[in-house]
Amino acid sequence: MAVALGLGTILVGSAVAAPASSHDGTWSVRMVTDSGVCDSSYNYSIAIENGNVRYLLNPGDSPTTVSGRIGSDGAVDLDIRRSIAKVDANGRLNGKVGSGTWQLAMLGCSGRWTAQKRSRDV
């Protein structure tokens, strides 16, 4: 379960501010593990506001920090930390969908993520 908590944060926390964009809103994210000892998949929700990314916490979740950004062009470049786990995520949001890759090097895990925009509201 600790691995799931570490991975369920690929796009979470608060990032460097950017101008409001069409990416603002709530998103559902699915992560799939392609290699390593991590669970096979994870699902969670995030909010993006003015380029900042925030994890929509569920009961029992651990504190998470994120650095990086969602660019105005939709480029995703994030460094997510929870406890000692550090996940690197990259990719792109385009309209109401997004996709990319992630890596949790300390566990030898990597995979891909997809996202779907659910609402313009944050």
pLDDT in tens, 52-91: 888 887 777 778 776 778 999 999 998 878 888 898 999 9
Quick one: tokens of 73?
């062009």
Give the angle 9-91-102 at the CA atoms, nearest 5°: 45
Domain with 49 in it? 2-119
Is 19 in contact with 72 (CB distance < 8 Å)?
yes
Picking from 13-17, 56-60, 111-115, which range would have the lowest pLDDT averaged per residue? 13-17
Is 7 in contact with 99 (CB distance < 8 Å)?
no
7-11, 18-22, 66-70, range with greatest mean pLDDT? 66-70
| pLDDT recorded at residue 11 | 44
Find how far residue 40's CA is from the centre of its chain. Answer: 16
Proportion of the chain in helix, strand, coil states, percent, rounded to 5: 5, 55, 40
- Say yes or no to pLDDT of 8 above 60: no
Q: Note the maximum CA span of the chain.
A: 38
Distance CA 51, CA 58 (A): 22
The pTM for the full model equals 0.78
CATH of the domain at 7: 2.40.128.120
Count how many domains the chain has: 1
- Say yes or no to pLDDT of 17 above 60: no
Q: To which residue do tokens 């969670």 refer?
A: 44
Q: Shortest CA distance to 102 belongs to which of 91, 92, 93?
A: 91
